[in-house]
Amino acid sequence: MTGALDPGHVFTEGHPALLAAQRRYPDVRFGASGTLYHELLPTVLGQRITAGEATSQWHRLVRELGRPAPGPGELTLPPEPDDLASRPTWWFHPLGIEGKRAAILKEIGRRATHLAEWSTLLPGDAAEKLALLPGVGEWTIGCVLRTAFGNPDAVAVGDFHLKNVVVHALTGRARGTDKEMMDLLAPYASQRGRAVALLLLNGAAAPKFGPRQRVLPIQRW
């Protein structure tokens, strides 16, 4: 059962917005897939693009390289490491994946054996290893530490929206920085990711300003 190994946490003190979120969602737990390789692939696709774009690119990549899953139904498995590593970077462009992210995907394919080993480490040790991979920074590491390890302290530092959401929820200011976000989350050390998850579940959002920016698919560049 997803989250069965997460003991959960009860915030007895904290910002009213966080405590209100916990009253509404009293048992938020994190699952842990235990596999960095499979968590890194869709996360890397999400670097510096919208969630909708990343989801579409992941679907296209799986349709092109994935193999049928065993059993009934029409499920498709994620790409095998060798299938990613062997493709030239230009092969990914029609899928909407530019050269930089394509190179990271190829590197993940080449490092799949190491990633399997790192998946058995403690989250902090795994983070140090992941930081050695080209193109894998704080945001990517924060995302996969939560999904692969179920780490309740992991925060996606560097996210375009998250800092604004957290700062607005905890101070009322419309915009903030990553440093301000982490300073505000400091009282919840060891459970910072869970605190963020509660705020988001309870509908926390930053005000929006200006017209919506048009998204131009990369394959049309």
Q: Domains along the chain?
A: 16-28+155-201 (no CATH), 36-149 (1.10.340.30)
List phi, psi (to 5°) of 50: -75, 160
Other CB atoms within a 10 A radius of the CB of residue 6 amount to 17
First CA to last CA distance, the chain:
43
Identify the band that residue 214 occupies on the pLDDT scale cut at 50, 70 and 90.
Answer: low
Between helix 99-110 and helix 36-45 the angle, nearest 10°, is 180
CA dist 186 and 199 (Å) reads 15
Query: What pLDDT score does 209 carry?
Result: 86
pLDDT at 215 over 60: no
CA dist 204 and 17 (Å) reads 9
Question: How do residues 201-210 score in pLDDT, each as one tens digit?
Answer: 999 999 998 7
